[in-house]
């Protein structure tokens, strides 16, 4: 797996002989992609009031993804490509553990949770595309290996699965018990 990760990194990364314009574009995406994702989620909350409770859950699970990704990365403490001398870091970044990518975990969590909601599928597809592009950019600028991005996606899939499981349990077990309370209150 490590050999494949290194092969893909060398294929995707700017390395020591970058195309300057591509490094500028990748750097802007690597830094700005998550902000664009957050702006899209905010816009969806503004445009689709019935989806606000789901989007609040998306934000909560995305925050959980960030905490878990940072905790796992700190525990594993695997070096980033620039720390190993494989490439310069073309964006400012601290020398801390890289696996999983917190950016990937957060953005893919938001994307998968939106994709699971019919009214938010178009936004989910856009966020997923942004997550893929941001993942590529962060590899290109030398701060992640492709495996870090994949690990972020796997963490996101686990969290989205947990959310869907909890949602199913609530709908199956809690919602029927709440109906009589709502009727009595009316």
pLDDT digits (tens, 9 = 90+) for 61-113: 999 999 999 999 999 999 999 998 899 998 988 888 889 999 999 999 999 99
Q: Model confidence at 177, in pLDDT bands (50, 70, 90)?
A: low
Q: Distance (Å, rounded) from C-alpha 135 to C-alpha 144?
A: 8
Span 12-34, average pLDDT: 93
Does residue 27 belong to any structural domain of this protein? Answer: yes
Q: Is the pLDDT of residue 184 over 80?
A: no
Q: Is the pLDDT of residue 178 over 80?
A: no
Q: Measured in Å, how far apart are the chain's first and last C-alpha atoms? A: 60
Does residue 40 belong to any structural domain of this protein? Answer: yes
Contact 144, 81 (CB under 8 A): yes
Domain count, the chain: 1
Highest-scoring range by mean pLDDT, 79-83, 124-128, 172-176, 177-181 = 124-128
Q: Report pTM.
A: 0.89
Q: Which residues contact 73 (CB under 8 A, 6 or more apart)?
A: 96, 97, 98, 99, 100, 102
Does residue 5 belong to any structural domain of this protein? Answer: no
Does residue 154 belong to any structural domain of this protein? Answer: yes
- The tokens for 14 are 């700017």
Q: Distance (Å, rounded) from C-alpha 49 to C-alpha 137?
A: 33
Does residue 186 belong to any structural domain of this protein? Answer: no
Range of the structural domain that residue 31 is part of? 18-175
Does residue 11 belong to any structural domain of this protein? Answer: no
Q: Model confidence at 15, in pLDDT bands (50, 70, 90)?
A: confident
Span 151-163, average pLDDT: 98
Span 161-177, average pLDDT: 84
Does residue 54 belong to any structural domain of this protein? Answer: yes
Does residue 185 belong to any structural domain of this protein? Answer: no
């Amino acid at each position: 797996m490590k050999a494949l990760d290194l092969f893909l990194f060398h294929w995707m990364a700017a390395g020591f002989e970058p195309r300057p314009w591509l490094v500028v574009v990748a750097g802007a995406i690597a830094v700005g992609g998550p902000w664009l994702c957050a702006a899209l989620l905010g816009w969806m909350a503004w445009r689709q009031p019935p989806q606000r409770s789901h989007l609040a859950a998306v934000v909560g699970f995305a925050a959980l993804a960030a905490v878990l990704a940072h905790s796992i990365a700190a525990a594993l403490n695997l070096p980033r490509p620039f720390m190993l001398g494989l490439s310069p870091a073309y964006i400012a970044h601290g020398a801390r553990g890289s696996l999983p990518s917190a950016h990937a975990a957060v953005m893919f969590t938001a994307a998968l949770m939106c994709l699971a909601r019919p009214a938010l599928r178009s936004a989910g597809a856009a966020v997923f595309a942004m997550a893929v592009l941001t993942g590529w950019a962060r590899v290109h600028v030398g701060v992640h290996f492709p495996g870090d991005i994949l690990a972020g996606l796997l963490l996101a899939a686990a969290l989205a699965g947990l959310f869907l499981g909890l949602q199913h349990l609530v709908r199956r077990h809690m919602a029927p018990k709440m109906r009589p309370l709502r009727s009595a209150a009316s």
